[in-house]
Amino acid sequence: MDITQLILDDHHEQRRLFAILEQIDRGDTAAVGAIWDRLAAFLELHAQAEEEIFYPALLQVGIAARRASGAEDETLDAIHDHNEIRDAVAEVGRHQVGTDEWYAAVAAANLANSDHMAEEEREGLTDFRRLAGLQRRHHLAVAFAAYEARNYAGVVSVDKDPAGYVRAAEEALRTGANGSLSVGSLKRIPPG
């Protein structure tokens, strides 16, 4: 098991759910609304799991490989993207399910999410596979899967300050603190 594969699997499921929304009759608002509710909750859970598990680890391996600025840039961009996705999901909630405005907001959420996934797959996941060994990726995958399982009912959506997130994650790495990012627990995960 590899955290990068789990993230890719989540991306596939997100794409699948957006495609399902496109294939349901617009008049079936109960089905469309149910699929959207599941997708919206999943998008946030996935983002939170990445912010708790993956991005602190990407920063850690980037620092260890003397590529901190690249890892920081990728993380800043990812947190910014997560905020855009959260905002797009919130916009969907402002419209009645099944209306043209609702579908336009869903399309905007799909675009924001698709752009983020493509960039993450090209950069963050690729860099992490190059910098982190399989044993570490396995341990992180277990943590990631457990996080999503523990929070299957959903998590609260909260925008984060990208620069503040990176500062807090790096500080937790330096001090070994076990703060809200849970990066202190990364010290127990074998390096490499």
Tell me the C-alpha distance between 125 and 12, whole Å: 14
> Can you give the length of the chain in residues?
192
- Phi/psi for 139 (5° steps) reads -60, -40
Q: What residues have CB less than 8 Å from 116, skipping those under 6 apart?
A: 78, 81, 82, 84, 85
Q: Is residue 142 part of a domain?
A: yes
Other C-beta atoms closer than 10 Å to the C-beta of 88 total 20
Burial string for 45-56 (b: 16+ CB within 10 Å, else e) reads bbbbbbbbbbbb
Range of the domain at 71: 3-169
Q: What does each C-alpha distance from 139 to 6, 165, 185 come to in angstroms?
A: 12, 23, 11
Task: Answer whether residue 40 shows pLDDT above 80.
Answer: yes
Q: Is residue 184 part of a domain?
A: no
Q: Is residue 188 part of a domain?
A: no
Task: Answer whether residue 113 shows pLDDT above 60.
Answer: yes
Q: Which residue has the tokens 């149910």?
A: 34
Check residue 24 and give left, alpha or beta (phi > 0: left; psi -120 to 50: alpha).
beta
Average pLDDT of the residues in 47-67: 95
Task: Answer whether residue 187 shows pLDDT above 80.
Answer: no
Tell me the range of 47-56, 65-74, 167-176 where mean pLDDT is highest. 47-56
Task: Answer whether residue 188 shows pLDDT above 80.
Answer: no
Residue 190: per-residue pLDDT: 47
Q: What does each C-alpha distance from 192 to 58, 138, 165 come to in angstroms?
A: 11, 11, 23
- Give the three-class secondary structure for 82: helix
Q: Is residue 34 part of a domain?
A: yes
Q: Is residue 174 part of a domain?
A: no
Q: Is residue 185 part of a domain?
A: no
Please state the domain count of the chain.
1
Task: Answer whether residue 186 shows pLDDT above 70.
Answer: no
Q: What does each C-alpha distance from 99 to 95, 135, 145 come to in angstroms?
A: 7, 48, 35
Task: Answer whether residue 101 shows pLDDT above 80.
Answer: yes
Residue 177: per-residue pLDDT: 65
